[in-house]
Structures are given as structure tokens and as C-alpha cells.
């Protein structure tokens, strides 16, 4: 009788909790809908765009969505990034520094002579304009192996839309592949390095073209209603700011280029842009809970 009583109390507890949770859920859903919002994740999924107008469907962009993108694997950045001490790693705190191009040149020289050893790190405090100009030419020489890939990316950026084929309707949204985010970041890091080198080498037109490309790639994930996409986009934007800042500090930008950059940067509002990813995460969270609830039944 005692065991039966415990079983009945346990059953009554679960029945009451199920009823109460369903009541609270309906109350929350009605409150959300009364604000004109929705908990249906389909309404937040980016609308399809024509393939011929979609950056993500170009031959150079499609590999970004694979687990191993076979592009940008043999340039200076890919081979020496771990060996260069990044002096601007505190830029998020408002303490920007010029990119250490001389250190990059040292790494490039070591690569060419076969003297780059594991664990070796290069650092320089040489910010002399002539030294940076000489180093910039070496850096740009080191980035030449992927000139063709960058040219293809530049051509692909003429497309007005970008929508990667994320599998939004998965039962378990946590399993959705987002591998393209890391590759886009790596490309922006390269463009950051190249633009800074081009400015130091007195090539502001090339630098501006690479800054524009980096901004385009930064926005290529803007419509994705996922918080990690938003965060990576914000990080990529910070990378693009580096050459813009260096050009301002050294007065490399012409008046027309400054106007162009100002017009582009004024279009960014990361506070407003946070709304869609947060709503998306909410719908994905609900879907995730439902997924595990169904598995438990």
C-alpha cells in the first residue's frame, strides 16, 4: 500500500507539472504573439534567392560550406600566422596598433630559406615607414599563391545576395553545419593583412578594393538567424576596421575614398541587427527542446 501510494503521488506530480508547464507555455506563446512576434522558425529563415544572384552558389564560395575548403592553403598567412606575434590583439579594448609587417616579412624570409621552425615566433617594434614599406612588398609577394582565388572572390562579390544552404529544418538544430563561418573569417584575416600591406606600399586603391571585399564577406552571413553567425560577423567587421584605421592614421586615404568608406560604415547597426539572431535562437531552442522531448517519449 505504501509503494502504491508513492506511485500515485509520483504520477499525480507529473500530471500536475505537465499541466502547469503547458499552461505557462500557452501563456508565454500568446504574450509573444500579442507583440507581433512569432515562434515559428520558418518565418525567420532567409528567403531563397536566384542562384545566378547568390554569392554562396559561386564555384569559389561553395567549398566554404564544406568541412575542408580547398582554397587559400598555400599563402603566407596559412603558413606563417602561428609564427607571428599579433601586436594588435587588444584592439577590442580600443588600443589599436599597426600590423607588424616587419615580423611578417621575417616569417616570409624564414619560409623561403627553409629556416622556419616549429614554435618559432617573430616580433618587431620597427614601425619606420621605409621598413614597413619594404616589409609590405614581401608580404604581398607571400600572398601571391592565392591571387587567383582572391580574383574569383572579387568577381563573385558582384552578386547582390548571399544565402548559404543551411539545413534549417533539422529536428536537432544543434547539428546544423556552420563551417562556412570559420572560412569566411580566415579570408577576412588575409584581406586585413593584404590591405594593411597595400597601404604601407602606397597602394590605397588596391587596399580599398580588399576592404570592400572584406565588408562584403562580412555581410554574406547577415541574414542567418543564428547568434554565432552574428558574432562571427561582428568579429570579421573588427578585422576590417584595422586597415581602415591604419589608412586614417597614416593619411593614406583620399577624400573620395574616405567618403566611400563613411557611406558604407554608416549602414552598419549591430544593435538593431541583433534582433533577428536572438529571435532565431529562441525558435531553435524551442525546436531543440521538442526534439529531446520526442526522443524521450
In a shared domain, residues 182 and 62: yes
- The CA-based angle 247-257-210, given to 5 degrees, is 65
Percent of the chain with pLDDT over 70: 94
- Residues 214, 284 share a domain: yes
Asked whether residue 234 falls in the same domain as residue 272, the answer is yes
Residue 94 is predicted with a pLDDT of: 62
- Residue-averaged pLDDT of the chain: 88
Please name the helix (run of DSSP H) or strand (run of DSSP E) that holds residue 268, with its range, or none. Answer: none
Cα distances from 292 to residues 17, 161, 274, in angstroms, run 18, 35, 27
Is the same domain home to 5 and 62?
A: no
Contact predicate 44/225, CB 8 Å: yes
Q: Worst-scoring range by mean pLDDT, 121-130, 210-219, 240-249?
A: 121-130
Domain assignment of residue 101, yes or no:
no
Residues 52 and 188 in one domain: yes
- CA 199, 203, 205, 209 torsion: positive or negative? negative
Whether residue 264 lies inside any domain: the answer is: yes
**Largest Cα–Cα distance in the chain?**
92
The answer to whether position 23 is within a domain reads yes
State the angle between helix axes of 129-142 and 101-113 in degrees (0 to 180), rounded to the nearest 10: 50
- Same domain for 56 and 9, yes or no, is no
How far is residue 235's CA from residue 170's CA, in Å, rounded to a whole number?
Answer: 27
Note down the domain range covering 28: 1-37
Question: Do 253 and 287 fall into the same domain?
Answer: yes
Do 205 and 70 share a structural domain?
yes
pLDDT tens per residue across span 39-72: 888 888 899 999 999 999 998 888 776 655 556 7
Cα(263)–Cα(161) distance, rounded to whole angstroms? 19
Count of domains for the chain? 2
- pLDDT score of 267: 95
Q: Would you place residue 90 in the very low, low, confident or very high pLDDT band (cuts 50, 70, 90)?
A: very low
201 pLDDT above the threshold of 70 = yes
User: Which residues lie below 8 Å from residue 144, measured CB to CB, with a gap of 6+?
Assistant: 75
Amino acid at each position: 500500500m505504501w509503494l502504491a501510494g508513492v506511485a500515485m503521488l509520483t504520477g499525480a506530480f507529473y500530471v500536475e507539472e505537465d499541466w502547469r508547464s503547458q499552461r505557462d507555455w500557452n501563456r508565454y506563446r500568446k504574450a509573444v504573439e500579442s507583440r507581433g512576434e512569432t515562434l515559428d522558425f520558418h518565418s525567420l529563415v532567409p528567403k531563397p534567392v536566384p542562384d545566378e544572384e547568390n554569392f554562396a552558389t559561386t564555384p569559389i564560395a561553395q567549398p566554404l560550406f564544406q568541412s575542408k575548403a580547398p582554397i587559400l592553403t598555400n599563402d603566407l598567412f596559412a603558413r606563417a600566422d602561428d609564427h607571428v606575434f599579433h601586436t594588435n590583439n587588444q584592439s577590442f579594448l580600443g588600443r589599436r596598433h599597426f600590423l607588424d609587417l616587419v615580423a611578417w616579412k621575417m616569417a616570409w624570409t624564414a619560409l623561403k630559406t627553409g629556416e622556419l621552425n616549429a614554435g618559432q615566433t617573430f616580433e618587431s617594434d620597427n614601425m619606420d615607414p621605409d621598413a614597413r614599406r619594404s616589409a609590405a612588398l614581401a608580404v604581398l609577394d607571400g600572398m601571391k599563391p592565392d591571387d587567383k582565388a582572391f580574383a574569383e572572390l572579387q568577381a563573385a562579390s558582384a552578386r547582390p545576395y548571399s544565402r548559404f544552404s543551411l539545413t534549417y529544418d533539422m529536428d536537432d538544430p544543434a547539428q546544423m553545419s556552420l563551417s562556412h563561418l570559420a572560412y569566411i573569417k580566415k579570408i577576412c584575416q588575409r584581406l586585413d593583412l593584404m590591405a594593411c600591406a597595400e597601404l604601407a606600399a602606397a597602394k590605397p586603391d588596391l587596399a580599398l578594393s580588399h576592404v570592400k571585399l572584406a565588408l562584403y564577406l562580412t555581410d554574406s552571413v547577415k541574414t542567418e538567424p543564428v547568434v554565432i553567425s552574428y558574432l562571427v560577423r561582428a568579429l570579421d567587421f573588427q578585422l576590417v576596421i584595422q586597415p581602415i584605421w591604419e589608412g586614417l592614421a597614416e593619411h593614406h586615404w583620399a577624400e573620395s575614398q574616405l567618403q566611400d568608406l563613411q557611406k558604407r560604415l554608416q549602414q552598419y547597426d549591430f544593435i538593431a541587427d541583433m534582433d533577428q539572431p536572438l529571435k532565431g535562437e529562441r525558435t531553435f531552442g524551442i525546436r531543440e527542446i521538442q526534439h529531446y522531448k520526442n526522443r524521450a517519449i
